Amino acid sequence: MSEIPAKATESEDSSGGPRTEAADGLSSGDAPSGDAMWQSSPPGSMYDYIKVASFSIGPDGLVDQWSLRAEQLFGIPADRAVGMDPIAAFVASDRREQGQRKMAEILDGREWTGVVPFRLPDTVARDERDREGLAEVYVMPTRTEEGEKAAVCIVVDVRTLRRIETDLAASQAIFGQSPFGFLLIDPDLRVRRANQRFASIFGGTPDDHRGKGVHDYLPRGEAERVAATLRRVLETGDSITDMHVTGFVPGSDERRHWSVNLYRVHSGSGRPIGIAWLGTDITARRAAAREAAAARRNLALLNEAGARIGNSLDLETTARELLDVVVPGFCDLATVDLYQGLLAGDETPPGLADGSAEVRRVAFASAVSDAPFDGAVERVKLGAVHHYAFNSPWADALRTARPQTVPGEDGGLVQSTLAVPMVAHDTVVGLAQFARTKGSEPFGDRDRDLAVELAARAAVCIDNARLYRREHERALILQRSLLPPGDPEASGLDIACRYLPGNAATGRTGEVGGDWFDVIELPGHRTALVVGDVMGRGLRAAVAMGELRTAVRTLAQLDLEPAEVLSQLDEIARGLGAPGGVQQATRAARRPREADLSEVYLATCVYAVYDSVTRRCTFANAGHLPPVLVEPGEPALMLDVPPGMPLGVGGEPFEEVEVELPEGSLLALYTDGLVESRDHPLDEGLQAFVGALTDPSRPSPGHHSSTTAPRADTQPNLEDVCDHVLNTLDTHHGEDDIALLMARIQGLPAESVGDWTLPREPRSVGRAREYARAQLIGWDMESLVDTTELLVSELVTNALRYGEGEIRLRLLLDRTLVCEVWDAGLVQPRRRRARDTDEGGRGLQLVGLLSAAWGSRRTPRGKTVWFELPLPGADTPLTDPAEALLGLF
């Protein structure tokens, strides 16, 4: 670069005024050296703001030079200003005399500085208020080349100076009084200026921080990041808002957080001169935000727990649902231990109070390892039964019902563990453990409270599941206690039965149902077969089933016809839901509003009475599925029994159907759980059932063709038939209970029946004794002859004395000996106690003493009186007739 004269040269800035060219290095305040001082530099001096104007006055007191800045300040071009009297042009008329005196002094060689009011021309003033100006004038005497006295004038608009002064004062006030840390950083990323707030945080006075860099305040990594950001702001001019900076303040180990705003600062001419740093301490705000985030997270966990925990009434499933919620959202590892005694049904197992009772690990979850609580808790396999030592923190948590924090061991995986007792209804049911591994955030007080709440929610659900399981088991016990115990036996029938609750049938826990079956022995080697189903599930259905089953057994003992039994049962079912019984239910039915207040119990039922002598079976149906009959050599078929209305509906009579059952045929009664499914139509299930019974020896499931059954002498065992049916229909039944009653017909042989008709005359008594004696001797039952003769004599005598028409005597030999005496009279015999002085009236007493059982029943054309004797060798010994006679007196 060529050198220029050692003299300031005047040139124009962007606004047209003169400026002094200075060296580049002066822009940042560095001291110039050498020739660099005279190099050209961008504008950036204070003159850019002050707008200094200059003009000169010749010896004649007139303007002889007029700068461009003077043109801007006064609004007068140079061609007009040169030769102008400045006093006449700019000073008000009332002050011109004083101005002339000052001008004379100046031209006399006197230096002067002062404030001079002037009047702006109309071309410069915007309105009347702007016409009056105030100029600060610096007048310096000089001489022309001829040696004459002249003056050079430097003029500054006072209004500009006042504005700069105000701006500086405002800047100082904002900078110094700001509640935020304020820095001015130069282009070398050094602090040029710091405010008092910043100094109060980092120590010292504001001047102590001049020249420092970001590395003097922040850790190395953070300082590098911030320095890179400062350079980017300086280069691009893009501002940065809410940049988070982390560091420490002197004398404190607490990590602090600041929110920093950065923007580039320019000179009046637009040249970048540094970066403004405005910092706010947000440590408390960050902590509050973390607290709020933790609160939101905890609330979300609680909401998730409410939605996911307790959806089933299974203990293990509920425990796993708790761990699915907390891992990994709340902790890294978790387990659930429940008291073994409570799981077994004990209300207060031993050791429960001191926390040392046996517990069983029912659930475990881990997000980091399959090793549960390595280094913190003894390893326990899932499902294992164990106990905690009395002085351990886990036993203490169980004992006090308060959570305990267990620190992790050195070198272990776990950082800390929360042992939280699971409390439900003031009862500790188990212990939940939540652990976080090293590197995770440690548990805080809020985490502890959340763990207690989560454990409490799960505990209530687990306790409910435990109570449900207990009540369900009790309901099952009740339900099964109402079913026939063991394998029922009946005269002339080979019987097999199956009962599967809904949970056993489907593999899932369900409520008990109202299905039942029964086998009731009736007089005369007859048998009542019953299958029924109370609509609905649960304990209510099981209790209703028990009541109906008891009623059926009671009505069966009255030896009523099947249709009459169902009619009476229908009345009883209608009375179950009304407090006052059937009468109240009938009245409520007449008043619909009151009918809504009583429960409705509906049930279906098939009632069949089988006579082993005639092999005839009488059916009556109350809305139940039809019986299925398999005759030897024939395909299985559903019997056409009128379905009737379900029990509890009322108002409709029941019909009876009598069917003769061939020897060796198979009769099946069942409930809808065997054939009904939500996945298959009922007709498909019925056809599958019929197909399974058609050929029970063929194991192919689902085959419905009607093939010829095996011969009677090769028929499979009835128990195997039941198993085959259940296995074949395994995919057809639903969640309902299953009751299956199967009976193979084995009629009483003709040689086991003795049947005689006696005329209505006195000698028929002796003839009846002879028939009975001869038949018993033929059956090799001599030990029963005396008792049988005596009792037959009494019954025939009563028929002659109180009955009507001819008399019929029948002896039946099967598992017991049954004697029946029939006549056409309708008056039922009534047992009474005879006085010592009475000569008669002791016949029925004698029958009651000598027989195992006796009774009477109505028949379509009269009545039958019967008695039953145990066979020789039976557990019940016979009563000696002589002793029985003596006992009557």
Residues 6+ apart with CB under 8 A from 533: 513, 514, 515, 516, 603, 604, 605, 624, 671, 672, 673, 737, 739
Domain boundary among the residues 422, 448, 475 is at 475
What gap in Å lies between CA 569 and CA 554, rounded to an integer? 10
661 and 730 together in one domain: yes
- Residue 722: what residue type? C
CA distances 415 to 151, 336, 697, 752, Å, are 88, 19, 65, 86
513 and 546 together in one domain: yes
What gap in Å lies between CA 296 and CA 104, rounded to an integer? 85
From the CB of residue 754, how many other CB atoms can be counted at a distance below 10 Å?
A: 18
State mean pLDDT over 778-800: 91
What gap in Å lies between CA 304 and CA 308, rounded to an integer? 6
What gap in Å lies between CA 123 and CA 399, rounded to an integer? 97
The pLDDT value given to residue 308: 84
The pLDDT value given to residue 370: 59
State mean pLDDT over 519-538: 88
Domain boundary among the residues 408, 440, 475 is at 475
The pLDDT value given to residue 29: 43
Average pLDDT value for the chain? 80
The answer to whether residue 31 sits within a structural domain is no
The pLDDT value given to residue 48: 64
pLDDT above 70 coverage of the chain, percent = 79
* Residue 146 pLDDT > 90: no
State mean pLDDT over 734-740: 76
Cα 79 from chain centroid (whole Å): 94
Q: Judge whether 629 and 661 are in contact, CB under 8 Å.
A: yes
Beta strands in 68-223 (DSSP E): 112-119, 132-143, 149-157, 181-185, 191-194
564 and 441 together in one domain: no
State mean pLDDT over 198-206: 87
The pLDDT value given to residue 137: 86
Cα–Cα nearest to 715, from 778, 676, 768, 662:
662
pLDDT above 90 coverage of the chain, percent = 26
The pLDDT value given to residue 488: 80
The answer to whether residue 57 sits within a structural domain is yes
Q: Judge whether 796 and 765 are in contact, CB under 8 Å.
A: yes
What's the CATH number where 211 sits?
A: 3.30.450.20
The answer to whether residue 371 sits within a structural domain is yes
Residue 42, SS3 per DSSP = coil
Most confident listed range (295-299, 705-709, 742-746, 747-751)? 742-746
Dump pLDDT digits (tens) for 78-90: 888 899 888 887 7
The pLDDT value given to residue 100: 85
CA Rg, the chain, in Å?
58
Show contacts of 717-725: CB within 8 Å, 24+ apart. Answer: 718/494, 718/495, 718/496, 718/666, 718/742, 718/744, 719/496, 720/696, 721/496, 721/666, 721/693, 721/696, 722/496, 722/497, 722/498, 724/692, 724/696, 724/697, 724/699, 725/674, 725/689, 725/692, 725/693, 725/696
- Kindly report which listed range (301-310, 336-345, 364-373) carries the lowest average pLDDT score: 364-373
Q: What is the DSSP letter of 734?
A: -
What gap in Å lies between CA 392 and CA 387, rounded to an integer? 11
* Residue 124 pLDDT > 90: no
The pLDDT value given to residue 681: 78
State mean pLDDT over 771-779: 93
Q: In what order do the strands lie in the sheet with 666-670?
A: 493-500, 738-745, 666-670, 628-630, 637-638
What gap in Å lies between CA 115 and CA 137, rounded to an integer? 6
State mean pLDDT over 430-436: 92
321 and 266 together in one domain: no
In the 3-class helix/strand/coil scheme, how is 60-79 assigned residue by residue? CCCEEEECHHHHHHHCCCHH
This prediction's pTM = 0.56
Beta strands in 553-665 (DSSP E): 603-611, 616-622, 628-630, 637-638, 656-660
Q: Judge whether 867 and 854 are in contact, CB under 8 Å.
A: yes
Cβ neighbourhood burial of 242 (10 Å; 0-12, 13-18, 19+): exposed
Task: For helices 315-326 and 445-481, give the axis angle rounded to 10 degrees.
Answer: 160
The pLDDT value given to residue 201: 87
Question: What does the block give as tokens for 193?
Answer: 């200026």
From the CB of residue 525, how many other CB atoms can be counted at a distance below 10 Å?
A: 26
Residues 6+ apart with CB under 8 A from 324: 308, 365
Cβ neighbourhood burial of 483 (10 Å; 0-12, 13-18, 19+): middle
What gap in Å lies between CA 282 and CA 256, rounded to an integer? 8
The answer to whether residue 553 sits within a structural domain is yes
- C-alpha dihedral (396, 400, 405, 407), degrees to nearest 10: -10
Residue written as token pair 């080697």: 525
222 and 250 together in one domain: yes
Cα 331 from chain centroid (whole Å): 19
* Residue 44 pLDDT > 70: no
What gap in Å lies between CA 252 and CA 201, rounded to an integer? 11
The pLDDT value given to residue 485: 65
- Kindly report which listed range (213-217, 343-347, 421-425) carries the lowest average pLDDT score: 343-347
731 and 755 together in one domain: no
The answer to whether residue 592 sits within a structural domain is no
The region that residue 89 occupies, defined by phi over 0 for left and psi between -120 and 50 for alpha, beta otherwise, is: alpha
741 and 761 together in one domain: no
Domain boundary among the residues 111, 138, 163 is at 163
191 and 131 together in one domain: no
Residues 6+ apart with CB under 8 A from 750: none
What's the CATH number where 760 sits?
A: 3.30.565.10
146 and 52 together in one domain: yes
The pLDDT value given to residue 888: 53
Confidence band, pLDDT 50/70/90 cuts, at residue 214: very high
From the CB of residue 845, how many other CB atoms can be counted at a distance below 10 Å?
A: 17
Dump pLDDT digits (tens) for 625-663: 999 999 888 888 999 999 889 998 887 889 999 999 999
State mean pLDDT over 57-64: 90
The pLDDT value given to residue 373: 52
* Residue 733 pLDDT > 70: no
The answer to whether residue 4 sits within a structural domain is no
Number of domains observed in the structure of the chain: 5
502 and 611 together in one domain: yes
Q: What is the DSSP letter of 207?
A: G
Confidence band, pLDDT 50/70/90 cuts, at residue 820: very high
* Residue 882 pLDDT > 70: no
* Residue 872 pLDDT > 50: yes
Scored b (16 or more CB within 10 A) or e, 847-885 reads bebbbeebbbbeeeebbbbbbbbbbeeeeeebbebeebe
CA distances 233 to 110, 154, 210, 643, Å, are 53, 39, 20, 92
Dump pLDDT digits (tens) for 346-385: 665 544 566 678 899 999 998 886 555 544 445 788 888 9
More confident residue, 116 or 675: 675
Which residues make beta-bridge pairs with 275? Answer: 185, 264
545 and 682 together in one domain: yes
Scored b (16 or more CB within 10 A) or e, 673-692 reads bbbbbeebeeebbbbbbbbb
Which structural domain, as residue segments, surrounds residue 368? 309-475
The answer to whether residue 584 sits within a structural domain is no
What gap in Å lies between CA 579 and CA 588, rounded to an integer? 11
Q: Judge whether 657 and 617 are in contact, CB under 8 Å.
A: no
Residue 31, SS3 per DSSP = coil
* Residue 824 pLDDT > 50: yes
* Residue 77 pLDDT > 80: yes
The pLDDT value given to residue 402: 92
What gap in Å lies between CA 843 and CA 825, rounded to an integer? 18
The pLDDT value given to residue 599: 58
The answer to whether residue 67 sits within a structural domain is yes
Q: Judge whether 461 and 450 are in contact, CB under 8 Å.
A: no
Evaluated on CA atoms 11, 14, 19, 23, the torsion sign reads negative
What gap in Å lies between CA 320 and CA 308, rounded to an integer? 10
260 and 365 together in one domain: no
* Residue 838 pLDDT > 60: no
